[in-house]
Amino acid sequence: MCLFCNVIEKKTPATVVYEDEHAIAFRDIRPMAPTHVLVVPRKHISGIRDLSADDVTTIGQVFLVARHVAKLEGLEAHGYRLVVNDGDAAGQTVHHIHVHVLGGRNFAWPPG
């Protein structure tokens, strides 16, 4: 079964920072920044490539939760980065769509 579906169902432990009826936000097990939170919709969608028009509201809610997490984590003053990896070239490893909320340091552009 999908790792993030197991986190949603509380079968896999995670440090949850926020959750509501649309999405759950929990700390990444291998943080790449002082704040690194994953925002995951409760609906299993494998990735950006699998989005359909039915998912428009779900994805909008995920971004609202990402903004809320950034606020909770005190990232708004200095700024933060949202990342969505899709497919192998981007380094997607978990095939349940998620937004990385990264903050607490400066980020280079272009990304690596």
24 binds ligand 5GP (CB under 6 A): no
Of 19 and 28, which has the nearer Cβ to ligand 5GP?
28
Write 42-46 long-range contacts (CB < 8 A, 24+): 42/8, 44/2, 44/4, 44/5, 44/96, 45/96, 45/97, 46/95, 46/96, 46/97
Task: Compose the 30-59 pattern: x for residues touching ligand 5GP by CB under 6 A, - for all others.
Answer: x-------x---------------------
CA distance 71 to 101: 11
Q: Whose structure tokens read 């607490």?
A: 104
CB-nearest residue to Zn ion:
2
14 binds ligand 5GP (CB under 6 A): yes
Amino acid at 109: W
Instruction: Reply yes or no: is the peptide bond before residue 110 cis, omega within 30 of 0.
Output: yes
User: Least separation, in Å, of the C-beta of 99 and ligand 5GP?
Assistant: 9
Of 27 and 44, which has the nearer Cβ to Zn ion?
44
Residues within the interface to ligand 5GP (CB under 6 A): 3, 12, 14, 26-30, 38, 85, 91-94
Active-site residues: which are they? 98
